[in-house]
A and B are shown apart, each in its own frame.
Chain A
Amino acid sequence: MREIRADEIKNAVVSALKEIHYQMRPDLKASIKQALEQEASPLGRQALELLLQNAKMASAGVHPLCQDTGLTVIFVEIGQDVRVVDGGLAEALQAGVRQATQEGRLRHSVSVHPFKRVNTGDNTPATLHYDIIPGKGLKMNIMAKGSGSENISALTMLLPSAGEAGVRDFVLNIIRQHGAAACPPLLIGVGVGGGFDTAPVLAKKALLRRLGEPSSDAETAEMEKTLLAQINSLGVGPQGWGGTTTALSVAIKTAPCHIASLPVAVNIQCHSHRLAEVKL
């Protein structure tokens, strides 16, 4: 049995959050630079240039990349031979969020109750997902999820006969109707299969993949390519001002499902994709 101190986990969350709110991910920067070369709209190119300039300014550590410092979502993969000592795991994760909010000067963006709208004042509770895996490892994917993009995310239960085309239509309709409000260029996470509860988690997990890396399944990779081209033909463009870069990537994850179901969840992410992978 490997023992990991709760403090070590908390500290890892603090440093990851302080990093991702000020430093743009290299894969994202490369993707925006590539989009800049291909963007057909002059206004679109200016918007992309502004995002690169924004990243440069944020890296000085004074102003976070985006004022919507988001709801923190942590995906934990914990080996079954790991034991967290000197405190609880969930408690350590939440304490990390609380401390990073203070030290990283993050905005307080969480309400106690969906109707009462009183601020919790420290960005807790973060959303926590756990997977128990074999071995002695502990891995965390730590994401700060803004709400402009989260608000246009959606779930549908299609008929199996709708097939791949039905899934693509569902995604395209979301982007056509609401994409401009979600800070394009967007990252699209799609979860297909599972059930009503698991498809949205698949969609969010799809966003954990490095940009530019296709699905390991050849057919899914092909569908990602087709869907990305279709999204970019909608004309929405950077900031919704018109252009050929509406999305930077489409990542699809599939899972087995009931013979009568075709669950589809789409998690939209804005270009301010703040994510870190931490291994302990």
Chain B
Amino acid sequence: MTPKTNKNGLTAFLAIIRRDLLLAYRYRAEVINPILYFIIIVSLYPLAISPDPKVLTKIAPGIIWVAALLASLLSLDNLFRSDYEDGTLEQMLMSPHPTGILVLAKIVAHWITTGLPLLLVAPVLAYTLHLDPKAYSVLMITLIIGTPILSFVGAIGIALTVGLRRGGMLLSILVLPLFLPILVLSSVAIQLAASPRPAIAPIIPGAWFDSVVYLTTQAPYSAAIYTLSALLILAITLAPLATAAALRISLR
């Protein structure tokens, strides 16, 4: 029997993350593309609908989230395509490590290169869209929780369509219905945060944790954020399994 070492799944996980980040760094001009796409889509709405700040304030959460959705959809293609074309994906499926771990590593690396830059640009764009200042924290929270869900759910879609010749449009049809609940929940949360809030007596006036207590128990948008977090946990645990199964099928 062949000797085993202490190289376990964690080593493979980190190796794949390091490899994908190295590839992204080597072709770092391409990392800018989703960010530019995001900015361009956000700038379409004020031009098309109305530059009036009163109108933009109301629709700002929706604009940012629709743009995040579309940018995420566009960047999904390079999750598995290059690995599929040069045979590396087959080798990953044949490795003794559980495929779910390797897929998880790829999705995490993908989010770091495409989702995380969106988080950095979003507050600036929200400022240009005149988003209510009260809603910024909720905007960032929904983006931090929601964009990984988009990466995970999108990974299932791209795993199914990576072997098809013209899979781009089909990917959108498959994946956008699954994105819709996330879009609605996040938009609603930000809109609730932006709307006028009733004055709530703080539990201990002036205490530092008052805002945390408010956020977790009394805020009207807390239900939406809890649901988003639940969806994120569901996606992290189940999406790699579905993606691994879909990859095996695509590679038949």
Chain A bound to chain B: no
Q: Which residues of B contact A (CB under 8 A)?
A: none
